[in-house]
Amino acid sequence: MDTKIRVTIWNEFRHEKKHEIVKRIYPEGMHATIAEGIRSEDLDIRLAALDDPEHGLTEDVVNSTDVMLWWGHCAHGAVQDDIVRRVQKRVLEGMGLIVLHSGHFSKIFKALMGTTCSLKWREVGEKERLWNIEPSHPITRGIGDYFELPHTEMYGERFDIPQDGKVLFISWFEGGEVFRSGVAFERGHGKVFYFRPGHETYPIYHDQNVLKVIGNAVRWARPQIMQAHTAPNSPALEVIRTPNPHTTGAGMVQDLDGCHLPLGSARQARKNGERMTV
Ligand code: ZN
């Protein structure tokens, strides 16, 4: 495809305004640093933040986004449920979603995973080594056997995520723990990638390997199709010759709850004393 990938980088954007140490590392916000770091001809990037109207995720924005990035930490609870549902619906229709670091506890990630997404953590600024265990995957392209971050917050197992994700990175921490740091999922028609690095008090989103993985993930997660999920009644493609013992007449009727029944079954149900609208 020659069209650009429309990327929306969503950031809670509170730490950068409140804490001097974070402001020094990310003066315009983490989302702006990531945007600058992955900037490329094939990407059309815009930024959105929690305190924007509708969290910056209006119907228009969400419906014109191919891949969304999500960073949140201290204000997951402030994200409105109807906006979460809007983003979730778009993912199921085909939009890509890349969830970063403490976004593991965001409403959107938990909604898509269906698990608690809890983990162990410790913040002493220890070293992390991320092992690339799927070097043939598009998200790990250009990354060697491993890369290191000199100072990070530790996330440790057990990470309560579903087992259907493909693990691309495993982290080792100086303190001894390990963690599934890069995991790729499919939900509906959409692709979801969880990527661990990114604590706000370390310059993680200035790291070239981290930015390369995020850029790769954006291209991997771009929609292959965008399609709403409906549940249509499906006419048969072939003549069905197998007699249905429950149907003696053509057509469907509804019971009082709106459930559809074949006419023959409805006749039987009427005999049994059930009431039908038709
Ligand atoms: Zn953190």
Distance (Å) from CA 100 to ligand 1 centroid: 10
Per domain, the residue ranges of the chain are 5-114+180-221, 233-278
65: β partners: none
Distance (Å) from CA 153 to ligand 1 centroid: 6
More confident residue, 247 or 78: 78
The pLDDT-based confidence of 249 (bands split at 50, 70, 90) is: low
Task: Check if the beta carbon of residue 70 is closer than 8 Å to that of residue 99.
Answer: yes
From the centroid of its chain, how far is CA 31? 17
- On the question of pLDDT at 258 being above 90, the answer is no
Distance (Å) from CA 48 to ligand 1 centroid: 20
Q: What is the pLDDT of residues 80-136, one digit of tens each?
A: 999 999 999 999 999 999 999 999 999 999 999 999 999 999 999 999 999 999 999
Q: What is the per-residue burial (b if ≥16 Cβ within 10 Å, else e) of 96-127? A: bbbbbbbbbbbbbbbebbeeebebeeeeeebe
Distance (Å) from CA 103 to ligand 1 centroid: 9
From the centroid of its chain, how far is CA 48? 16
Distance (Å) from CA 152 to ligand 1 centroid: 8
How high is the mean pLDDT of the chain?
94
Distance (Å) from CA 267 to ligand 1 centroid: 63
Distance (Å) from CA 21 to ligand 1 centroid: 14
Distance (Å) from CA 274 to ligand 1 centroid: 59
Distance (Å) from CA 140 to ligand 1 centroid: 23
Distance (Å) from CA 198 to ligand 1 centroid: 7
- Mean pLDDT on 258-263: 75
For 129, 153, 184, 190, the CA distances from 172, given in Å and listed in that order, are 5, 12, 19, 29
Position 268 scores a pLDDT of 75
Distance (Å) from CA 260 to ligand 1 centroid: 51
Given the DSSP bridges, would you call strands 178-187 and 166-173 parallel, antiparallel or unpaired? Answer: antiparallel
Distance (Å) from CA 102 to ligand 1 centroid: 6
Q: Which of 190, 171, 191 is nearest to 181 (CA)?
A: 171
Considering only 15-24, 215-224, 231-240, 259-268, which range has the smallest mean pLDDT? 259-268
Distance (Å) from CA 181 to ligand 1 centroid: 13
- The separation between the first and the last C-alpha atoms of the chain, rounded to the nearest angstrom, is 51
CATH node for 5-114+180-221: 3.40.50.880
Distance (Å) from CA 101 to ligand 1 centroid: 6
Query: Any idea of the CA torsion for 126, 182, 118, 114, to the nearest 10 degrees?
Result: 170
Q: Is the pTM of this model over 0.75?
A: yes
